[in-house]
Amino acid sequence: MLAQIFTLAERPELEQRLDEVADPWPEFIHHDQVLNARWDDLYTRWPEFQLVLVDTETEEVLGKGNTMPVAWDGQVETLTGGVVDVFEREFPNPNVLCAVVAVVDAKQQGRGLSGQIIGGMAETAGRAGLECLIAPVRPTWKDRYPLVPLEDYMRWTRDDGMPFDPWIRLHARLGAELLAVAPRSLDISGSAADWESWTGMHFPQDGDYVVPGALVPVRFEGGVGRYLEPNVWMRHEPR
Ligand SMILES: CC(C)(COP(=O)(O)OP(=O)(O)OC[C@H]1O[C@@H](n2cnc3c(N)ncnc32)[C@H](O)[C@@H]1OP(=O)(O)O)[C@@H](O)C(=O)NCCC(=O)NCCS
């Protein structure tokens, strides 16, 4: 395998093949209205910031990474809420690159390919003359601990001192610095019927529910369920 990163500006024909990367997400993740309304902007406005990981020997699409340029003054206090907040805003004078998502196809996971996507994002930031790459990191094991505050979870470490969470660890191993909780990276609301169709669970009364694949509980109030997903802001130097 010879895995190589391309941007969609370099190889526009790859955009048609992104669906070859299996969708890894629980159904509810697809129901953030802001993201759904603005997702295509990534491809129309910033093809040079959309990455595809390709096996150049077989031309197989192995994974993908989405980023967009944003403005940030480098202060932890002024970081936006997360992915959905970034999508809601316009940044007339962007100076940093913001990661949106990275996915390695399920058949290819566990081979160290994700580092190439994140490294490719940092290289893309460097090539574009941007000051750094910031990433609202979605910790891959947080759904196992939905009741633990992310402020605590993100600082859990293993015996070797590395972060406990595999995805935070991957970023840390690539040199990223942990900044803060991103409190609003997804904001998904729906009726009990919506949530039932998304999860196969029942929500007969108001209250907090632990839902498979959710990093924090889904809260029902007045029959409406809201999932406010927190992520972890991390910062990479450009390469
Ligand atoms: C998270 C993801 C990108 C990792 O890609 P990968 O190429 O399989 O990962 P790597 O082989 O580079 O391993 C990176 C770390 O993640 C861990 N890991 C790999 N697959 C994993 C999985 N399915 N779930 C949790 N952790 C996983 C590895 O153990 C490794 O940590 P370690 O070597 O320090 O123990 C990939 O599993 C994926 O696409 N998942 C679904 C989408 C997602 O969660 N994306 C990240 C948030 S946007």
Mean pLDDT of 207-235: 98
pLDDT of residue 157: 98
Q: Is the CB of 26 under 6 A from ligand 1?
A: no
C-alpha neighbours within 13 Å on the C-beta side of residue 210: 7
Domain count, the chain: 2
Q: Please tell me the distance from the alpha carbon of residue 199 to that of residue 228, in angstroms, as a whole number.
A: 16
pLDDT of residue 106: 97
DSSP 47: G
For residue 117, pLDDT over 90 is answered with yes
Could you identify the atom of ligand 1 that is nearest to the CA of residue 101? 48
Are 182 and 193 found together in one domain? no
Are 215 and 113 found together in one domain? no
Are 103 and 210 found together in one domain? no
Write the CATH number for 113: 3.40.630.30
pLDDT of residue 159: 98
pLDDT of residue 164: 98
pLDDT of residue 1: 87
Distance 158 CA to ligand 1 centre (A): 17
Are 86 and 124 found together in one domain? yes
Are 212 and 157 found together in one domain? no
Q: Is the CB of 215 under 6 A from ligand 1?
A: no
Pocket test for ligand 1, best of 84, 167, 171 (most atoms within 8 A of CB): 167
Mean pLDDT of 97-112: 97
Contact 83, 89 (CB under 8 A): no
Domain limits for position 198: 189-225
Are 16 and 127 found together in one domain? yes
- At 138, the pLDDT band (50, 70, 90 cuts) reads very high
Q: Where are the beta strands (DSSP E) in the chain?
A: 3-7, 50-55, 60-70, 96-104, 133-137, 177-191, 207-209, 218-221, 224-236
Sole residue written with tokens 């601990």: 145
Q: Is the CB of 66 under 6 A from ligand 1?
A: no
Are 54 and 34 found together in one domain? yes
Are 130 and 199 found together in one domain? no
Which ranges of the chain does DSSP label H, i.e. alpha helix?
33-38, 41-45, 83-88, 114-127, 150-153, 166-173, 192-199
For residue 88, pLDDT over 90 is answered with yes
Mean pLDDT of the chain: 98
pLDDT of residue 192: 98
Mean pLDDT of 50-68: 98
Query: Residue with the nearest Cα to atom 47 of ligand 1?
Result: 138
Mean pLDDT of 30-55: 98
- At 234, the pLDDT band (50, 70, 90 cuts) reads very high
Q: Is the CB of 140 under 6 A from ligand 1?
A: yes
Are 209 and 172 found together in one domain? no
For residue 54, pLDDT over 90 is answered with yes
For the question of whether the overall pTM of this predicted structure is more than 0.75, the answer is: yes
Are 79 and 162 found together in one domain? yes
Mean pLDDT of 61-67: 98
Are 54 and 157 found together in one domain? yes
Are 137 and 215 found together in one domain? no
Q: Please tell me the distance from the alpha carbon of residue 196 to that of residue 142, in angstroms, as a whole number.
A: 22
